[in-house]
Amino acid sequence: MDDITKTGAQDTAVAADGRRSLGTGPGRLLVTLYGIFTVAAASRSLYQLIAQFHVAPLAYTLSAVSAVVYGFITFSLVRGGEGARRAALVCCALELLGVLGVGSWTLLDPSAFPDATVWSDYGMGYLFIPVFLPVTGLLWLRRSRTA
Amino acid sequence: MIDALTIAVGATALALAAWCGFAAYRDEPTKDWHFIGMAVVSLLGIVQLVVGIVQLAGGHSPAKGTALFLAYLIGAAACVPGTGFMSLSERTRWGSATVAAGAVVLAVLEVRLFDIWGGGNG
């Protein structure tokens, strides 16, 4: 009860309708951003893998991995429910590790990356949204546990 | 022609983002006037898509590749209508915030489009 009073009236309404709760309220904004990043990362990596794979195979493969992670989180948020929430939580943690890991890797060993990935330099080419997105996602998913 | 359109879409998208962002700040859902604003920006996006395709058909080639240019054109045209529909089923401040986010993404896409077309040269 204490949790619910803390999060305010709007989230109480969200918590009330259970299964759909992950993709409503603030979750709607999160779903939209994850959806946009899924499309952006998927189309970018598909194009690069097909048209210019030999230029930077590692970078393009990592972009494809990020697209899969984004896609899975989008799907989980839309689907809702406790199982999807846990799966999304794991994926958001994975995504955060990915951004930090690949971000550091591109800075420490630029020669391994002739071309950029979605997560290069901690997502600088995407206004650093790739760093903020998993943090926001983790906070939102933790809070939705009351649902 | 296409450069002017790119600037127009980018500027109106930023205005829409500010307007819907303000609605989100005031804890309001998107209203009829917001949807009219979205329609205007969407219409400009579709005009840009058509003009872009006509230019491509006329033999112009974008500085950084036709496929990339087309992908960004389609993404730009879909951005605001997509988030507009999201806000139709989310009648809270978060619906307004979603449209504002979509409009910011559109503005970023326009900057990239300007670059991909080889802005300033045609």
Which of A10, A28, A43 is opposite residue B98, by nearest beta carbon? A28
pLDDT in tens, B1-21: 789 999 999 999 999 999 999
* Confidence at residue A19, expressed as pLDDT on a 0 to 100 scale: 56
Phi, then psi, of B65 in degrees rounded to 5? 105, 140
> Is there a contact between A60 and A53 (Cβ–Cβ < 8 Å)?
yes
Which of B68, B90, B105 is opposite residue A36, by nearest beta carbon? B105
Both tokens of A66, joined, read 């990020």
* DSSP code at position A122: G
Distance from B8 to chain A by nearest Cα, in Å?
Answer: 22
CB-based contacts of A8-14 (< 8 A; 24+ apart in sequence): A10/B92, A11/A143, A14/A147
Within an 8 Å CB–CB cutoff, is residue B84 touching chain A?
no
Q: Which residues of A touch B95 (CB under 8 A)?
A: 28
Mean pLDDT (whole number) for A60-80: 95
Q: Is the pLDDT of residue A3 over 80?
A: no
Within an 8 Å CB–CB cutoff, is residue B75 touching chain A?
yes
* Confidence at residue A147, expressed as pLDDT on a 0 to 100 scale: 53
* DSSP code at position A93: H
* Confidence at residue B1, expressed as pLDDT on a 0 to 100 scale: 75
* Confidence at residue A18, expressed as pLDDT on a 0 to 100 scale: 52
Half-sphere exposure of A118 (CA within 13 A, CB side): 31
pLDDT in tens, A7-28: 444 444 444 455 557 999 999 9
Amino acid A83 reads G
A52 is in which domain, residue-wise?
2-146
Confidence of residue B119 (pLDDT cuts 50, 70, 90): confident
- Give the total number of structural domains in chain A: 1
* Rounded Cα gap, residues B41 and A18, in angstroms: 35
Taking an 8 Å cut-off on Cβ atoms, the answer to whether B94 and A32 are in contact is no
pTM: 0.89
Mean pLDDT of the residues in chain B: 94
